[in-house]
Structure 1
Amino acid sequence: MNAERRHVLKALAACAALAPLRAAAQGFAGLGAEAGGFAPVLPSTRLVFPADHGPHPDFRIEWWYVTAVLTGTEGAEAGVQWTLFRISLAPPGEGGSGWQARQLWMAHAGLTTAESHHHHQLYARAGVGQAGVTADPLHAFIDDWQLVETAAPASGAPASALGPLRMAARGGDFAYDLALTTERGVALQGIDGYSVKSERGQASHYYSQPFFEVSGWIAPGGQRRAVTGRAWMDREWSSQPLDADQSGWDWFSLHLPGDEKLMVYRLRHDTGPAYVTGNWIAPDGSSTRLDPGAVEVDALGEAEVAGRRLPVRWRIAIPARGLEIETAPLNPQSWMATDFAYWEGPVRATGTHPARGYLEMTGY
């Protein structure tokens, strides 16, 4: 696609989708807005693979989201993010095809080192072949950004397992190209993939693949470096994932010792206490929900970021698991200055369970 056409598409997408969401904003990016006409998230739904690696157009929003914590051959740490969002502009059955399709694709990529943070954003309209997702084999793309299976899963692997993936993206001052591999199946978040977001019952369908091993290269500022590490993929879809008075979230994904994994999120209400929950994932992929009240998440220290004060250092405690850790960012200035801006970057945890992982903070 030439630059002029890309510019026009981005402008149309921003005007048609993002401005109305802002005008009626409820929660971060309008995700607490009423979702009449879209499919509901039901606790009785059971996820089915490989189909659920693909899109769910009856729901209003979903994402394919990967973060990776990396180490270069010289020992320097880094992190990358790759996210593709599908956003329905109208309930199922409304809209047309081609340029009139009512599905919008938006993508974010980030690359963070201790010295720099890089990010880029893309848009596409569904129906014209510029972006999309297929489930089997998994192929998520927008322009030349790719998250694609390069081979079939290993023989005998679980039905939810993905074959080797290639993940690539580039922006004006950065690029990366990584290989992700695992033979393990996914971990279901919440209870059997039904993830509750508030006391009033807002929820999503949510699963993760937190067991990827990674190799490849990154190029912050155009300087290519070989890296290895671990990656975590999240898949989530919903029609109203937030309550109307939830302004945003603080979300952690952590690679713990012994190949255990921890996902924790803190959804902030405009009034009243935050809703805090998560899942503890065993090395075999079995996932146990952490009920509200079982997890303590407290801000410890702030930094000036993009003209605002943000809590970049945190304490997480799960007394029943004997866990008490403190997280610190690799780079406090990991601000994603996209149309819906947020903080996203790699963190390191110290304490009872030393760990590396990612923190995302929205709505600040």
Structure 2
Amino acid sequence: MSVRALLIYLCLAAPAFGQGFAGLGTKAEGFSVPQPGIALNFPADHGPHPGYRIEWWYLTANLQAADGTDYGLQWTLFRTALAPEERAGWSSPQLWMGHAGLTSRTQQFVAERLARGGIGQAGVTAAPFAAWIDNWQMAGRAAPEADALSTLDLRAAGQAFSYELTLDAKGQLVPQGVQGYSVKSGKGQASFYYSQPFYHVTGMLTLPEGAIAVTGRAWLDHEWSSQPLAEDQTGWDWFSLHFDSGEKMMGFRLRDEGAGFTSATWISADGTPQPQAPGALRVTPLETAIVAGRSMPNRWRVELPEKEVDVTTRALNPQAWMDTRFPYWEGPIRFEGSHTGRGYLEMTGYK
């Protein structure tokens, strides 16, 4: 298949691809739909689920250089399917997209890769774990008795930047929602969703000014579904927070014409998840900035009264715009108030 034909093929899948936002609320006839009460199964669930229409392996990292300079890093592999099956070679209905981002206080670097399934250019294996698209890789080095995601080597490169990191998990996998069944709307849309939020990171960034040694913390999400949004939901605001006290929190708001739908999971320092009731999380935009020609929040108030959380976030770089096929905002944040710490914020669907 020619490059031009491949691009046409990918465009035909646009409503379902990656973060097509409104397209994530379309019907998915013939695809599997997440159901409650199904236990996650590892290591098999680290791999792809071709019977579901949409899936992603999503890593973000808060990093620091020896001089205290902050950086943020993203590595994402998206899978979307034109049909609920797998076939060999060029007949595969699986499409893949990779995003790499690197954020500093003054710069945002972005790269994107597109690939077809079935020909080895991109894919994921469960054990030993490996995720790749072209020469971008997230490769597991776990000991035989350890979880397949417990140790990872990560690399990607784009115009004027690259990174190579080692990630070591210091805690357990965390199911999101109720045992991995994460509800996304009052109408019942849902996904299967778990995280590994306990990575310690070491490695090197390469920027125009040279190589920079960094350390920090990373958070990996793996999520799959077929219709994760309701038809009236247009995008989301997603937070992953590392508290200096050792706890962590994942929370999101899915936006609609009303108050939206919020969900959160409190994660104790020992990795025990405590899913919160829908609506328990409150997120309020406090300040906006013009980003890529659109007004977007760059400072938030995040509240979880059940855990006495009331913090204000601020972006390391308010212009952390991922100018990709489906553009969105993704970048590192700091927060202070009832708790202090660092984390990551993703905002999609803003026009």
**Residue 355 (structure 1) aligned to one of 337, 341, 351:** 341
Aligned-residue Cα RMSD (Å) equals 2.0
Q: Deviations over 1:259-305 (max 9, x none)?
A: 21110100001x22210111001122111111122111000000111
Indicate the residue corresponding to 2:73 in structure 1. Answer: 80
Q: Tell me the distance in 2 between the aligned counterparts of 1:283 and 1:134.
A: 29
Q: Tell me the distance in 1 between the aligned counterparts of 2:152 and 2:20.
A: 33
Q: Tell me the distance in 2 between the aligned counterparts of 1:98 and 1:162.
A: 28
Contact 2:287 2:297 in 1 (8 A): yes
- In the alignment, structure 1 residue 108 sits paired with structure 2 residue 99: yes
Contact 2:126 2:148 in 1 (8 A): no
Indicate the residue corresponding to 1:274 in structure 2. Answer: 260
Q: Tell me the distance in 2 between the aligned counterparts of 1:12 and 1:194.
A: 37
Q: Tell me the distance in 2 between the aligned counterparts of 1:150 and 1:222.
A: 31
Partner-residue secondary structure (3-state), 1:55: coil
Indicate the residue corresponding to 1:223 in structure 2. Answer: 210
Q: Following TM superposition, by how much is the alpha carbon of 1:18 offset from its aligned partner in structure 2, in angstroms?
A: 3.1
Q: Tell me the distance in 2 between the aligned counterparts of 1:111 and 1:316.
A: 25
- In the alignment, structure 1 residue 133 sits paired with structure 2 residue 124: yes
Contact 1:175 1:218 in 2 (8 A): yes
Indicate the residue corresponding to 1:325 in structure 2. Answer: 311
Indicate the residue corresponding to 1:121 in structure 2. Answer: 112
Q: Tell me the distance in 2 between the aligned counterparts of 1:55 and 1:193.
A: 16
Alignment of 1:213-362 (within 5 A): 213-221=200-208, 223-269=210-256, 271-362=257-348
Please, which runs of 5 or more residues in structure 2 have no aligned partner? none
Contact 1:161 1:186 in 2 (8 A): no
Q: Following TM superposition, by how much is the alpha carbon of 1:17 offset from its aligned partner in structure 2, in angstroms?
A: 3.4
Q: Deviations over 1:77-129 (max 9, x none)?
A: 00100000111012227xx5312211001000000000100010001101111
Alignment size in residue pairs: 350
Identity fraction in percent: 51
Range with bigger deviation, 83-92 or 235-244? 83-92
Alignment of 1:6-85 (within 5 A): 8-9=2-3, 11-22=4-15, 28=21, 30-85=23-78
Change in 2 beyond 3 A, CA 1:88/1:259: same
Q: TM-score, normalised by structure 1?
A: 0.92
Indicate the residue corresponding to 2:82 in structure 1. Answer: 89
Change in 2 beyond 3 A, CA 1:22/1:149: closer
Please, which runs of 5 or more residues in structure 1 have no aligned partner? none
Q: TM-score, normalised by structure 2?
A: 0.95
Q: Tell me the distance in 1 between the aligned counterparts of 2:12 and 2:319.
A: 27
Contact 2:162 2:207 in 1 (8 A): yes
Q: Tell me the distance in 2 between the aligned counterparts of 1:14 and 1:240.
A: 24
Q: Following TM superposition, by how much is the alpha carbon of 1:224 offset from its aligned partner in structure 2, in angstroms?
A: 1.1
